[in-house]
Chains A and B, each alone.
Chain A
């Protein structure tokens, strides 16, 4: 079947069996290998992406249900993709990715894309960044290296920076956006 949707704001069209997993479409058909497969049965959250802003396990979503919707993957987080003239640097990452680097929130890296997407959904939710709220937001993402503490610190750090930026932007005369 033909399915049209967006990935990281880019329109895509695929012609594939309707039951193909979104995870396989991203990795195999679209070449976006940032999203990882862990368990393949909705236990580990490694393949987490955002579907219309909500976290989903992409291993459990048939592509037939993605038509007309917006997918966001880890590739869509960084504001600028590196190229030959501009190799990647910390400034190219978004606030959450930088926080993961600074706190040591990533070790082997398999869970990291999913953790980042769960963290991104949490930051977008506007919920107060309490320890309990962050833990619930990443409850569907397993990590076997970090013990979670540094991941939670990273999300809290990103939330505090985001709040500070918003406050800055909200001050009279600063960064008018409307």
Chain B
């Protein structure tokens, strides 16, 4: 086991200073970084900074028309949060599919965002809910909309001295969000396809507006399928809509063959799951 030096700041300002002095790999709950220390996934980080003691990065709160989650919010905390359950239940559903209790007790939303895995289970939900990633450094804070945050394979919009501070999810009246994860088994599985679909409609008989489709494990980074969204926007969730949208999404994504699945399967199952979500929404 490689044991690089680790600093444990006790306040956010101290953390920003340390990050400005030298590049450190941030550690939150450790569920990704400790695995990387085994060195099997590429060269391990030279220096680490332990963010776990920064209480400024904890907590779930309702701020006006947005739900704000500190970067260190664990999946267990999301699952137990009445505010999340009432306002964005897809966050709770997605958290429940991550690993099992051992991972949910330690893994954090900020870690999922910063680790930038194309298979990150929370990330399609953040894309579908127009989430804003608030990042911070000695220079202050800035906001990155979720679709601009993941820029390539495990690449993010973070500067080397920046960390994820909190995630803000705007609350939109009459928005529905649906989440599905397809894996080998229910627990402890990395997704073959993970998706979140949202739309705004005042009642079931009204055309969908502001449609968002966030997808994971079908491209080099978590993506929004904007061409498919355009097909769904202004439509009712009918059988025709479902057929058109599922054909469109299969053409829009660029999945790969890897140890977990094949490109063909991912394409077919993404189309199928989207079709089913539209059918469930339409009640036919």
Q: Which residues of A pack against B, CB within 8 Å?
A: 1, 17-21, 24, 40-43, 45, 48, 51, 54-57, 59-62, 64-65, 118, 121, 136-137, 139-142
Closest to A121 in B: B101
Q: Which A residues lie within 8 Å of B8 (CB)?
A: 1, 18, 64
A-B contact count (CB 8 A): 96
Q: Which A residues lie within 8 Å of B103 (CB)?
A: 42, 57, 60, 140
Give the CA-CA distance A139 to B187 in the complex, in Å.
6
Q: Are B52 and A55 in contact (CB under 8 A)?
A: no
Give me 18 A-to-B residue pairs in the complex whose CB atoms sit less than 8 angstroms apart, sorted by A's number. Answer: A1-B8, A17-B5, A18-B5, A18-B6, A41-B38, A43-B188, A54-B76, A54-B105, A56-B106, A60-B30, A60-B103, A61-B34, A61-B106, A62-B6, A65-B30, A136-B187, A140-B99, A141-B100
Give the CA-CA distance A79 to B53 in the complex, in Å.
34
**Binary A-proximity of B30-62 (CB < 8 A = 1, otherwise 0):** 110011011000000000101011000000000
Q: Are A40 and B38 in contact (CB under 8 A)?
A: yes
Q: Are B105 and A17 in contact (CB under 8 A)?
A: no
Closest to B29 in A: A60
Q: Are A55 and B34 in contact (CB under 8 A)?
A: no
Q: Are A20 and B100 in contact (CB under 8 A)?
A: no
Q: Are A65 and B101 in contact (CB under 8 A)?
A: no
Say yes or no for B27: interface residue by CB 8 A criterion.
Answer: yes
Give the CA-CA distance A17 to B27 in the complex, in Å.
15
Shortest distance between the CB of A24 and any CB in chain B (Å): 7
Say yes or no for B3: interface residue by CB 8 A criterion.
Answer: yes
Shortest distance between the CB of A26 and any CB in chain B (Å): 14
Closest to B76 in A: A54
Identify which of B4, B31, B52, B187 contacts A64 (C-beta below 8 A).
B52
Q: Are B99 and A137 in contact (CB under 8 A)?
A: no
Q: Are A65 and B50 in contact (CB under 8 A)?
A: yes
Interface centre among A24, A48, A54 (most CB of B within 10 A): A54
Q: Which A residues lie within 8 Å of B105 (CB)?
A: 51, 54-56
Q: Are B35 and A42 in contact (CB under 8 A)?
A: yes
Contact A42 to B50, CB < 8 A, known contacts A57-B103, A64-B6, A140-B99: no
Q: Are A139 and B100 in contact (CB under 8 A)?
A: yes
Contact A56 to B3, CB < 8 A, known contacts A19-B48, A40-B38, A62-B30: no
Closest to B4 in A: A19
Interface centre among A20, A21, A56 (most CB of B within 10 A): A56
Give the CA-CA distance A21 to B36 in the complex, in Å.
13
Q: Are A56 and B102 in contact (CB under 8 A)?
A: yes
Q: Are A57 and B37 in contact (CB under 8 A)?
A: no
Say yes or no for B186: interface residue by CB 8 A criterion.
Answer: yes
Q: Which A residues lie within 8 Å of B3 (CB)?
A: 17, 19-20
Q: Are B34 and A60 in contact (CB under 8 A)?
A: yes
Say yes or no for B1: interface residue by CB 8 A criterion.
Answer: yes
